[in-house]
Structure 1
Amino acid sequence: MTQHERSEYPIEVAKATAQKPQRTPIWIPIVNLCLGVAMMIATLTWSQYLDKPIEEHGYVQVMFFYVVLMIIGGGLMVSGFTTLWGRATAK
């Protein structure tokens, strides 16, 4: 391999150009956790008053919407918690 070929195709990356993966800011998982908990509590509170929406729109439609809200809230809550837990226990 000639010197010209080596300059075109460097074998190792210089340390100055090597990038470390950036961590997300700490406020993002905290917001996810808080939004998830608030959404779960709000959905559970709303579930006490499902009689009227079920009469107007039907059981399947209301329960589908209810389950989707619970899944989104639970996902946000678990995502925030696991990210915070991973950072807290990382060595």
Structure 2
Amino acid sequence: MPGTRRRVPRAELEFSPDADITLERLVTARLLTADGMRSSSPHEALISAWPRFHGWVDRDGERIHHHRPLTEASQSWEELGRDPGALY
């Protein structure tokens, strides 16, 4: 499954105490773009041109494929005030 670019909330990328520093370094190197509270890769070619990144996407492709709709459903549920009728 080929990887595709997507914008994600910055909070989703903050997985360790050093995440902010790492994200800022990637933005400075123009490997990521950041607009307020959201980030994304600047170009889909980055996924295939960066061997380590491509390996991560290739290895975790199925998990990523399932994670995206769950993330979107979770965000919708939060926006609806955690309405039990809006659960996935």
Q: TM-score, normalised by structure 1?
A: 0.25
Greater per-residue helix proportion: 1
Greater per-residue strand proportion: 2
Q: TM-score, normalised by structure 2?
A: 0.26
Q: Which has the larger radius of gyration?
A: 1
